Structure 1
Amino acid sequence: MPHRIVHMLRARGSGRRPVMLAIAGDSAAGKTTLTRGLVRCLGEDRMTAVCVDDYHRYDRSEREGKPFTALHPDCNHIDVMEQHLQLLSMGEPILKPVYDHATGELVRPELVEPREFVIVEGLLPLHTRLARACFDITVYLDPPEELRHAWKVRRDCDKRGYTPEQVRAELDRREPESAAYIRPQRRWADIVVRFAPVAGRQDPPGTPLSAELLLRPTIDHPELDTVIGDSAPPPPAPGSPHGAETAMHLRLHRDTDGRPVDALHVHGYVSPDESRIVKKAIWERLGPRAGDGGLDPDALGRFGDGGTSDPLAITQLLLLYHLLDADRRQAA
């Protein structure tokens, strides 16, 4: 089905349809961490999470004899993924394939029924025009490659039984396909998220990673100018460990294509008081549905085994705003 027809059908369809959010990014970029917080906050009774990495065409042993990796479109059932995304976006159930990452095997498919909100995360959700037409909000996770590699080594060794040498060798093998198929999806994202340390800073161990969010004008973002300044930071207080930097700022930025874009920076050393002000401001913009008792704000910002991060929480809260705003617009 041509992508324009998908747009038309979703716009004119009778009744309520799910709000669709895509979170794309390379392996171990943090997609699942971002998704889990949103699911916990909204509740599993209102949100369906789908991983499109389940659409692998071959299991792990079969891929060993192929001239490409799991990142290549030819290694995935892209046409089936497109069909299923269309059905989900119209509120229809699907029989989704399941890839077991622990064993590398394709196992029994599962029935997926879309709820009010559908999050689709994985390697290639924005690869084709038809797939992109199914989403209301699109996100790309863009951590520094050195950091992503470290995350992948730790995850694949702890949870998937690999050695560090095997993971690094696979990363080298995947790099051409990452460059050809994964990273180009960045251009189609409404929001580009980058978690990373602040360059040139020596923060204490345990300081959360900072977040940089590029807010493209393809969707309407909440007004945050009143709570996050975009002017030059004030002079540092005597003895301040952070110099003249501000913990949060919103500034005009040039994207990789040279176009202007708003850049929201939330540094890892942000104080609880500063973070609370911004969280409250975004929460108030969620509208009446934020106060109906159905949302759990304490679910945001969690990662790993009990860690918490205000930059992650604010990122998830911004995505929550867009999910509820898209739902409000549809209801209107």
Structure 2
Amino acid sequence: MESIMRSTTTPKVTLNKSFNGSTQKLAANKAVVKAASKSVVTCEQKPVVIGLAADSGCGKSTFMRRITSLFGGEPTPPEGGNPDSNTLLSDLTTVVCLDDYHSLDRTGRKEANVTALDPAAQNFDLMYEQTKSIKEGGSIQKPIYNHVTGLLDPAEEISAAPIYVIEGLHPF
């Protein structure tokens, strides 16, 4: 078990680390997640950054859509942005898919003989700088990797939210 403590009145919220992602358990933990998100929003001056690491295709994005809706509001792509954006926004959260930090498009990876899973095909320096900027309360021009076309699309503007989640194969 892990405790999160925030505020001058020291509320204590316990999150179950053994959560296995099932819908029933997600619903059962809804009150805990809501309490944690309210504590974060009312007591933190800077965004809380969470990294979610897991293998490709295992359900990270699906899991984050569910968690994002529990933190407040239905997750949506950025307004006026690319319809193929991997970014999710809700009232309290921004979830960024680290696929957007691929340094090469699909053709470039093929020519370089690397896969999208290869750390050499990631722009970790940009990811670090942008995460740092968000943590400091700033806005960024986040790149977009388009899974449909395999191309690197024009960047989208993302502003700091109380909870900023980076999810992907290499978030740390």
The letter of the residue matching 1:106 is L
- Where do 4+ consecutive residues of structure 1 move more than 3 Å? none
- In the TM superposition, 1:294-313 aligns within 5 A as none
- Is 1:74 the equivalent of 2:120? yes
* RMSD of equivalent CA atoms: 1.2
Q: Where does residue 116 of structure 1 map in the other structure?
A: 162
Q: Which residue of the other structure, out of 98, 102, 105, is the alignment partner of 1:56?
A: 102
Cα distance per residue 1:129-179 (max 9 Å; x no partner): xxxxxxxxxxxxxxxxxxxxxxxxxxxxxxxxxxxxxxxxxxxxxxxxxxx
The partner residue of 1:93 within 131, 139, 147 is 139
Aligned residues: 112
Aligned-partner SS, 2:111: coil
Q: Percent of aligned positions with the same letter in both sequences?
A: 37
Q: How much does 1:117 deviate?
A: 0.7
The residue aligned with 1:17 is 46
User: TM-score, normalising length from structure 2?
Assistant: 0.62
Instruction: Measure the CA separation in 2 of the matches of 1:49 and 1:26.
Output: 17
CA distance in 2, matches of 1:108, 1:21: 25
In 1, the alpha carbon distance for the partners of 2:149 and 2:155 equals 15
Shift of 1:98: 0.3
Paired with 1:20 and 1:38, the residues of 2 have a C-alpha distance of 14
From 93, 110, 115, give the equivalent of 1:47. Answer: 93
Q: What is the identity, as a one-letter code, of the residue corresponding to 1:62? A: G
Counting helix residues as a fraction of each chain, which structure ranks higher? Answer: 1
Q: Report the 3-state secondary structure (helix = DSSP H, G, I; strand = E; otherwise coil) of the residue aligned with 1:65.
A: helix
Q: Any idea what the Cα deviations from partners look like across 1:64-97, whole Å, max 9, x if unmatched?
A: 1112211112111111111111111222111100
The correspondence for 1:32, drawn from 61, 70, 77, is 61
- Between the aligned partners of 1:81 and 1:121, the Cα distance in structure 2 is 12
**Take 1:90 and 1:51, find their aligned partners in 2: how far apart are those partners?**
20
Equivalent-residue separation in structure 1 for 2:145 and 2:113 (angstroms): 20
More strand by share: 2
Alpha-carbon distance in 2 for matches of 1:36, 1:87: 23
Q: Distance in 1 between matches of 2:156 and 2:96?
A: 11
Letter in 1 for 2:125: D
Cα distance in 2 for partners of 1:102, 1:61 equals: 13
Question: In 1, distance between residues paired with 2:138 and 2:119?
Answer: 25
Q: Distance in 2 between matches of 1:24 and 1:89?
A: 19
C-alpha distance in 2 between matches for 1:48 and 1:38: 11
Q: Which amino acid in 2 is paired with 1:25?
A: A
Q: What SS does the corresponding residue of 2:128 show, helix, strand or coil?
A: helix
SS in 1 for 2:52: strand
Name the CA distance, whole Å, in 2 between partners of 1:124 and 1:30. 15
Higher relative CO (Cα under 8 Å, sequence separation at least 6) belongs to: 2
Gaps of at least 5 residues in structure 1 are: 1-14, 127-332
Within 2, Cα distance between the matches of 1:115 and 1:96?
14
Q: Which has the larger radius of gyration?
A: 1
Secondary structure (helix, strand or coil) at the match of 1:49 reads strand
2:130 aligned counterpart, secondary structure: helix
Give TM-score, length-normalised by structure 1. Answer: 0.33
SS of structure 1 residue aligned to 2:160: coil
